[in-house]
Amino acid sequence: MSERFVTTYSMWSLFRNCRKACEWRYVNELVPLKSEHCLSFGSLIHECLEKWHRKRDLAMVLDHIDRSLSGRSSDECQKADWHLARAMMTGYASTYPVEDFDVVFLEKTFEGKIVNPATDSPSRSFVLAGKVDGIVCVNGKFYLLEHKTASQMDGDYLEKLWGDFQVCLYAYYVEQVFGIRIAGIIYNILVKARLQQSKGETEAEFEVRRADLIAKSKTGRTSATRKMPESDADFQARLAAKYAEPGMFHRETLYISRDQFDTLRTDLWELTQQFLDCRRRRVFYQNTSYCFFYHRPCPYFALCRSNGSSNVIENFYEHKAAHEELREEPVEVEDIPVF
Ligand code: SF4
């Protein structure tokens, strides 16, 4: 890795959205003690997809899910993720028994120069690094494979892919660093089923419901029985039926125009200049309109509200080096794809 400050798409994206958040994460290297649940589910599915596309061994993928969520017997959240991940990957394996692409690389990291578009000189301060989910080949042309887990997929969702700055940027860097011309991006979308395992009802809840039914009944009687908790097997069967429905898996191919690369280079350079200015003046201003952007508080809300109190840092945050996502997992020799 370079001695220049390593940056990633995530960092620049955060810098664009709120400079203060970028400072908390990438300058002060702070992260909240509790990791965000939806991010960890997405990471697990990414790991599963990598394993699946390397060996196409569903048993191995399911075993990885079992081991990753080993606390599921006592943790409701892990249990729900375990059901969903198993059903999603089982459905994925039967939806794509064969692929119309050849895998070239999986989870490939890169690091490249950030270049001043006016002079073509590389930045002396920054480089850009990242990791692509995959590079695949279809009929002699190369595409980035980008996995997405989505809560729902509709026309709006697909429309928004057009503005996916990250993947376009990655395509540009893959071309620069590996010399592979990227024709487009294959979005591999997996939809999260919204089903929940029924908990059944307690004796007391049943009695309330029963009394209500009797009160409404003309005969003064009811044949209602207590709803029992749904078994794991029944819930898995319900999830499997859901994942057999159309629309739970989708592949969308977008083609890249070379003009997009020029815009990206210009935008990225501009961001580096603004970052240098913030760092020089030690001013990373807050964008308070971003604090609840995802309908929940920003992970640094407690810090901003307390004006960076050391007490809050000590109790709710930990120091973690930036760009952990770039660490490459060791790949066993027999895991390397054949092409
Ligand atoms: S809480 Fe608001 S101002 Fe503070 S870092 Fe987060 S988005 Fe920025």
Last residue of one domain, picked from the residues 175, 210, 240: 240
Q: Is 45 found in the same domain as 122?
A: yes
Sequence-ordered list of residues with C-beta below 8 angstroms from that of 196, at least 6 positions apart, any chain? 80
What does pTM read for this prediction?
A: 0.81
> What percent of the chain lies above the pLDDT cut of 70?
93
| Count of structural domains within the chain | 2
Q: Which residue's alpha carbon is at the smallest distance from atom 1 of ligand 1?
A: 301
| Cβ 291 under 6 angstroms from ligand 1 | yes
Q: Is 312 found in the same domain as 177?
A: yes
Q: Which two tokens stand for residue 71?
A: 């606390």
Write the pLDDT tens digit of every residue in 49-71.
Answer: 999 999 999 999 999 999 999 99
- Under 8 Å between Cβ of 88 and 140: no
Q: In angstroms, what CA-CA distances link 64 with 125, 148, 180, 332?
A: 40, 19, 32, 15
Res 332 pLDDT > 60: no
Nearest CA to 169 among 11, 54, 325, 51?
11
Res 327 pLDDT > 80: no
| Cβ 192 under 6 angstroms from ligand 1 | no
Distance between CA atoms of residues 280 and 274, nearest Å: 10
Which domain range does residue 200 map to? 195-240
- Under 8 Å between Cβ of 19 and 72: no
Distance between CA atoms of residues 250 and 329, nearest Å: 27
Q: Is 151 found in the same domain as 108?
A: yes
Q: Which residue's alpha carbon is at the smallest distance from atom 5 of ligand 1?
A: 21
What angle in degrees, to the nearest 10, is found between the helix axes of 9-17 and 165-178? 150
**Which of 153-157, 173-177, 272-276, 288-292 is predicted least confidently?**
153-157
| Cβ 288 under 6 angstroms from ligand 1 | yes
As a dihedral over the C-alpha atoms of residue 56, residue 57, residue 63, residue 66, rounded to 10 degrees, the angle is 40
Beta strand pairing call for 30-32 and 317-319: antiparallel
Last residue of one domain, picked from the residues 185, 210, 240: 240
Q: Is 292 found in the same domain as 223?
A: no
DSSP 182: E
Q: Is 134 found in the same domain as 30?
A: yes
The sign one gets for the Cα dihedral 42, 11, 257, 107 is: negative
Beta strand pairing call for 30-32 and 5-7: unpaired
Last residue of one domain, picked from the residues 204, 221, 240: 240
Q: Is 230 found in the same domain as 139?
A: no
Res 1 pLDDT > 80: no
Q: Is 174 found in the same domain as 221?
A: no
Q: Is 164 found in the same domain as 132?
A: yes
Q: Is 138 found in the same domain as 157?
A: yes
Q: Which residue carries 């994942």 as its tokens?
A: 243
Nearest CA to 184 among 98, 108, 260?
260
Pick from 27, 285, 290, 303 the residue to mutate for probing ligand 1's pocket: most ligand atoms within 8 Å of its CB: 290
How many Cα atoms within 13 Å fall on the side-chain side of residue 126? 20
| Cβ 290 under 6 angstroms from ligand 1 | yes
Q: Is 233 found in the same domain as 257?
A: no
Distance between CA atoms of residues 129 and 201, nearest Å: 51
Average pLDDT over residues 298-309: 95
Determine the pLDDT at residue 159: 81
Q: Is 166 found in the same domain as 202?
A: no
Q: Is 80 found in the same domain as 188?
A: yes
| Cβ 284 under 6 angstroms from ligand 1 | no
